Amino acid sequence: MTARSTLADAQHRKRVAVLISGRGSNMAALLAAAKDPAYPAEIVLVASNRPDAGGLATARDAGIATEVVDHTQFGKDRAAFDAALQAVLTKHRIELVCLAGFMRLLTAGFVAQWQERMLNIHPALLPAFKGLDTHKRALAAGAKIHGATVHFVVPEMDAGPIIMQGAVAVQHDDTEATLSARVLAVEHRIYPLAVKLVAEHRVRVVDGRCLIDGEPVPERPEAFY
Ligand code: GAR
């Protein structure tokens, strides 16, 4: 790569699609971060598999293009749904995909096309509590520490190299509502930070683990980047 193209790449804001299925508060956190012209990514598309996703209105109000690929139109044909989604991403010249409360499994073929260019946020400290109802299960298990994880997407659900985690202490009197609210606040902090580092090409996967700037991810990344 020449010095000139390296500079051009550094100045280029990555074109990001955020995929949602619901209220879209993580999407809103990403939109807020990307308002800063110095942020290395711009959210150019918000897409949903559900026409009634609340976050679509938030995106439209912010002047962001939206698309709906309604999974109910595809029956059990996951490959056809993913092909339609891919067509939308191609149309908008997307470079990075952020799953933000996108409640659909993607086919291995689709995931392979976005290897290390598709991120997900999960409301637990992976590999603990994969799947749904994470806060309820953390409380039931008597977990003392809970949190959220941003990771690269691989075909296996809620797996993939961990880019960043944020933890909260579980209080004795926490309910699902109070715990999920504290974890959500953490999500809103770490997701924009993780996307920033990926967009800046600072995250590398070595033997299934992420390094940032060639170093292991620190325990409190907010303090470092
Ligand atoms: C978030 O807590 C996100 O971590 C979770 O859904 C919520 C979406 O909220 N994602 C998953 O559970 C994915 N397995 P949001 O729509 O307000 O961002």
114-130 pLDDT per residue, tens: 999 999 999 999 999 99
Out of 20, 25, 134, give the residue to mutate to test ligand 1, the one with the largest number of ligand atoms within 8 Å of its CB.
25
26 lines ligand 1 (CB under 6 A): yes
Between the alpha carbon of residue 61 and those of residues 51, 65, 93, 167, the distances in Å are: 16, 10, 22, 32
Residue 113 Cα to ligand 1 middle (Å): 23
Any alpha helices (H) in 118-175, and if so which ranges? 134-140
Q: Do domains 1-114 and 121-225 have the same CATH topology?
A: yes
> What are 81-88's contacts with CB under 8 Å, separation 24+?
81/49, 82/106, 82/107, 82/109, 82/110, 85/19, 85/47, 85/49, 85/110, 86/110, 86/113, 88/17, 88/45, 88/47
* CATH fold group of domain 1-114: Rossmann fold (3.40.50)
Question: CATH: 1.25.40.10, 3.30.365.10, 3.40.50.170, 4.10.140.10. Which one for 121-225?
Answer: 3.40.50.170
How many other CB atoms sit within 10 Å of the CB of residue 139? 17
For the chain, what are the domain ranges?
Answer: 1-114, 121-225
Q: What's the pLDDT at 5?
A: 52
pLDDT tens digit sequence for 9-55: 667 999 999 999 999 999 999 999 999 999 999 999 999 999 999 99
- Any ligand 1 atom below 6 A from CB of 187: yes
pTM of the model: 0.95
